[in-house]
Structure 1
Amino acid sequence: MTSNILADAYAHCATIASNHYENFPVASRLLPARIRPAVTVIYAFARRADDFADEGDLSREQRLARLDEYRHRLQQLQRGESFDDPIFVALQDVITHHHLPVEPLHRLLQAFAQDVEKTRYADFGELMDYCRCSANPIGELLLHLNDAASERNIGYSNAICTALQLINFLQDMHQDYQENNRIYIPRDEMQRFGVSEQHIASRKTDFAMQGLMRQQIERARRLLESGAPLGLLLSGRFGLEIRLVIAGGGRILKHLHDNSQAAFARPRLTPRDKLAMLAQAALPRMLGRRRGPGKSGCGI
């Protein structure tokens, strides 16, 4: 393979990443420079596969077929076969040079296929199984890229990634329902609070909906905080990036909590939020001492 082909493949992945807005930045400049291209490639793979599940007018069978094709290509990659798809050209290079496991990428594809076939979750256990495939693999791969994938660190990372996934579900409740007929709030918890699907369809924020939201926010906050020690265990730019992501999740939870009477208003991070995130990420121990007992490190 020529250096030009590989450079073009990485540039293709960078274009995919740059064309999508996320509250949590992709390949942030805070990440160590040596892993930014790899993060961009992993994101491009995930983004394209996610589009197979969500975008366009494909039938259920066509969506699953495209995801199966990606699964087959991952198997080819593991056998060392070559590709003409720029995403897989770059991905093969990333996996080879960083000695990454391929299993987390297979779990991502499993989550996208599940999005095609499953639109409701009976309880939180089912939702956690989904997050294990849809969210946790990204954190695991980042740890591997930074040679920090110990069992302890992966446990903290899984808590953070699952919390961020739950936060996204809360931000996008109406959009997920309207665009893809999906509800990522456990059905048994909706029933317990007296919330029906009509609440989500009509963006109804009554006392029942507010109670359900408070419970969902609190659970996400606990998960986020349970993984927060990872940001202190990791040094340098990567540790700073992890703390910044945790702080960003906390700020979004704060907006959701403070705007409980508008449960379907999607929070946006303001310049003031970003300054608070930077302070929390740069001075975590000092701010923790000031906060005192009983106060959340996530800003709630």
Structure 2
Amino acid sequence: VAAGQPPAARWAAVFGPLQATLRQHALPVPLLDDLLSAFIQDVQKTRDAQGYADRAELLAYCRRSANPVGRLLLHLYGVTGAQALDESDAICTALQLINFWQDLSVDIPRGRHYLPHADCARHGAGPADLLALHSTPNNVLLIADCARWARTLMQKGAPLVLRLPGRAGWELRLVVQGGLRILDKVDALRGASLHTRPRLHAWDWLVMLGRALVM
């Protein structure tokens, strides 16, 4: 469809509208290719019960599964600066990682493993304990370290909120603060996120709004 050919009948309801959007906004097709590539990888990793060897491998996945979303949005807003793109990548990767650490209690039982093996080994977190969703002292340190990694990335990308105009900038402020608030809850659970999924509640939105106002 990017080359102007009609979509196959099976997927016409999806790729027909996408074709029109590609033309209207001149969307960068490689970013969409990256998203599909990441989707395929995720399916294959889950099928084979594979995880990620180290942070570099997980970041390579985030580069294709998360970062294209931010870059597509910046394209629509006409933001093309290198610094803005780097900050967008940092935010999107952080959001992906935060989602992983938020969903440990549901992902691991489904055979989806995102805690890097190298991090697990460094903290002495055994695979058996993780699969059993046990909050051991080593697992507490592992999850805290991974949460800190995600927080550092989010803080690196946060200045992007000042580069986007109007509503987009304010929405991004809440997105950033929402991610950081989930990390607060992951930290407060002290490893219990292995069996309890942290969630946002009504009062959390007040906290997020207050923090967004002073960014």
TM-score by length of 1: 0.67
Whichever residue aligns with residue 115 of structure 1, its letter is: D
SS in 2 for 1:225: helix
The answer to whether the aligner puts 1:183 opposite 2:110 as a matched pair is: no
The answer to whether the aligner puts 1:105 opposite 2:32 as a matched pair is: yes
- Spell out the pairing of 1:210-221 with structure 2 (5 A cutoff): 210-221=140-151
1:100–1:87 Cα change, 3 Å: same
The answer to whether the aligner puts 1:241 opposite 2:160 as a matched pair is: no
CA contact (8 A) 2:130 2:139 kept: no
Match among 183, 197, 210 for residue 253 of structure 1? 183
Partners of 2:214 and 2:29 in 1: CA distance: 34
Whichever residue aligns with residue 253 of structure 1, its letter is: L
The answer to whether the aligner puts 1:147 opposite 2:71 as a matched pair is: no
CA contact (8 A) 1:136 1:158 kept: yes
State the shift of 1:175 in Å.
Answer: 2.1
- Spell out the pairing of 1:82-231 with structure 2 (5 A cutoff): 82-83=6-7, 84=9, 85-118=12-45, 119-179=50-110, 181-231=111-161
State the shift of 1:262 in Å.
Answer: 1.3
Partners of 2:130 and 2:106 in 1: CA distance: 9
1:169–1:129 Cα change, 3 Å: same
Aligned counterpart, 2:5 = 81
**Superposition RMSD on alpha carbons, in Å?**
1.3
Deviations 1:237-262 (A, max 9, x none): 00111111000001000000111141
Number of residue pairs aligned between Structure 1 and Structure 2: 207
Structure 1 residue runs of 4+, over 3 Å off? none
Higher relative contact order (CA 8 A, sep 6+): 2
Indicate the structure (1 or 2) with the bigger Cα radius of gyration. Answer: 1
Deviations 1:58-92 (A, max 9, x none): xxxxxxxxxxxxxxxxxxx1211223512111111
| Alignment gaps of 5+ in structure 1 | 1-76, 286-300
Higher helix share: 2
Whichever residue aligns with residue 205 of structure 2, its letter is: K
Partners of 1:150 and 1:80 in 2: CA distance: 29
CA contact (8 A) 1:123 1:186 kept: yes
The answer to whether the aligner puts 1:276 opposite 2:207 as a matched pair is: yes
CA contact (8 A) 1:221 1:250 kept: yes
| Alignment gaps of 5+ in structure 2 | none
SS in 1 for 2:193: coil
TM-score by length of 2: 0.92
Whichever residue aligns with residue 19 of structure 2, its letter is: Q
Deviations 1:29-54 (A, max 9, x none): xxxxxxxxxxxxxxxxxxxxxxxxxx
